Amino acid sequence: MDALDLAPHDWRHPRPLRRPRVILRKTPASASPTPTSPAPSPTPPPAATRESSLHLLRRFTHGITPDLLAHATAAGGARSWFTAQLAPSTVPDPVGDEIDGWFAFLQRTPEELYTRSRNDTEGVWAVMWDLARWTVCRRLSSARQLQEMMVDFWSNHLNVPVGNDDAAYARVDYDKVIRANALGTFEHLLQAAVVHPAMGINLNNNVSTKKAPNENLGRELLELHTVGVDGGYTEADVKASARILTGYRVDLWPAYKAWYDTSRHATGTVSVMGFSSPNTSADGRAVTLSYLSYLAKHPKTARHIARKLCVKFVNDAPSDSLVTAVANAYTSSGTSIPATLLAMIDHPEFSSSVRAKLRNPMEDWIATVRALGIVVERPTTSSSFVNAMHWQYVGLGAAPYAWSAPNGYPNEGAAWASAGRMLNSFNLHRTMAAHYWPKDDATLPDLHTYLPALPATLQQVLDTVGTRLLGETPGSVVSASVAALLGWPLSKRVTARELNYYWPIIAIACTLLDSPLHLYR
């Protein structure tokens, strides 16, 4: 794609421009320090090894950083890092723990959130904004990057939007359920999520009764969550599915109350896609869990989940060979999510899918902040980075959990490849690289500290800055784009005086971020 022309004047005759104020604050102890000396010349490992490692890290983290690369190296390579990440509780996460302490809502029950909203102490909509902020902070800074990726994936698959004001009271607790099961088994995840009050409210199961079963959750359970739209279920299956799920109640007046109501459960024989039960007990919870277990292990669910994972993490049109291999691992492991992921990354199609996935706007926003080395801090005012960033990524689209329909955000790149989206991304990259806004209560590294010892050729400058921002050198096409933008040949030896201007370094950073090297995962 073409480089974004940021030039306010002729690059070949630069004049000094006043730099914006850069706020430097104390960096959390475990975060990457801001460079204070010229960056060393890159000394990458063999190309094939480095490329495969970067590919795995790009797909299963929210963006390459020097800290991430160091951790992967210390772990013995990207795949060893990945394997360790499959057990998030064993991964120390001091920065993530610190971030958790910034948000009081995490400690409140649905009942408390309801009471606070009803008495005008704190609107539940404000809690949902903070849930998004906390989620983004964790994606930015947590050492448990794979867990954050899978929380995103499963939250989208089992979507309960934060815009549902009634479900919002239980949405924080729902997030905890997703996180607790994101790297466990799909069977347990499905059982916990489907009967959760947030899901019940969002898909009307909280008002479903034996006299008037509401089919919304019963249908979406089949169509979206398990066997898929082509799963072969019938209308009779949908009706029986809805009857099984009756009894899970949530009331929102005069107080929040979630419970199982045996008087509302529809008894009598049920049959759904090979599952059957006499369903004689007024307490249908055991039948429900058995039904959900059956659906989780269904062969069509295995293929539906496998394909969705492959579209998210491999390419938009995964081969039948890949989907079959992943589905087989899912089935043979008893729906183990780690085993399923390992089968996917070990398939040859994964290693050949380098830069086959376009980042959506939210992924781009997070990866941009990570690439630029911005470190967020505890918010103190409405203009603090952590608070103000919400309006920035909401404006871009794809804010966390904001998709209103039950099917979740699309994972295919075509949904995010419009000209308008690209222009918005280009503008984002300039805004963030230039430290325009937001900038309070954050460490904003001076990009000039990412330069090599000068003088150096323009190509050496690009290789050093590219390695710092993206984890790799930019290559001939992107390098030529920067050279054309600056009006300097790649062989030109650039002096400190020539680069001691505000716009040239911004032009370099923005062109790197505007390129496919950054926009594609």
144 located within any domain: yes
pLDDT in tens, 292-327: 999 999 999 999 999 999 999 999 999 999 999 999
* Sign, Cα dihedral of 481, 485, 490, 493: negative
What is the pTM assigned to this prediction? 0.91
pLDDT at 189 over 90: yes
- Tell me the β-bridge partners of 494: 456
What pLDDT is stored for residue 48 in this prediction?
Answer: 57
pLDDT at 42 over 90: no
- 10 vs 334, residue with greater confidence: 334
What pLDDT is stored for residue 236 in this prediction?
Answer: 98
Domain identity same for 340 and 381: no
29 located within any domain: no
Range from 110-124, 149-163, 493-507 carrying the lowest mean pLDDT: 493-507
Tokens 């919304």 sit on residue: 216
Residue among 122, 43, 52, 32 at smallest CA distance from 371: 32
Reported as a pLDDT band with limits 50, 70 and 90, residue 501 is confident
Residues 209, 264 contacting (CB under 8 angstroms):
yes
Domain identity same for 169 and 232: yes
1 located within any domain: no
21 located within any domain: no
What pLDDT is stored for residue 474 in this prediction?
Answer: 97
If 0-12 CB within 10 Å is exposed, 13-18 middle and 19+ buried, where does residue 13 land? exposed
Domain identity same for 287 and 168: yes
Average pLDDT in the 47-72 region? 92
User: How many domains does one find in the chain?
Assistant: 3
Residues ≥6 apart with Cβ < 8 Å to 167: 160, 161, 174, 197, 198, 199, 201, 202
Domain identity same for 80 and 140: no
Domain identity same for 149 and 293: yes
Domain identity same for 475 and 491: yes
17 located within any domain: no
377 located within any domain: yes
Torsion of CA 318, 319, 324, 327, to 10 degrees: 0
pLDDT in tens, 415-472: 999 999 999 999 999 999 999 999 999 999 999 999 999 999 999 999 999 999 999 9
- Residue 384: give the domain boundaries: 47-89+358-519
What pLDDT is stored for residue 128 in this prediction?
Answer: 98
Domain identity same for 238 and 122: yes
42 located within any domain: no
Domain identity same for 149 and 249: yes
269 located within any domain: yes
What pLDDT is stored for residue 47 in this prediction?
Answer: 57
pLDDT in tens, 111-152: 999 999 999 999 999 999 999 999 999 999 999 999 999 999
Residues 267, 273 contacting (CB under 8 angstroms):
no
Average pLDDT in the 354-367 region? 97
Reported as a pLDDT band with limits 50, 70 and 90, residue 502 is confident
Domain identity same for 367 and 503: yes
Domain identity same for 403 and 287: no
Domain identity same for 161 and 284: yes
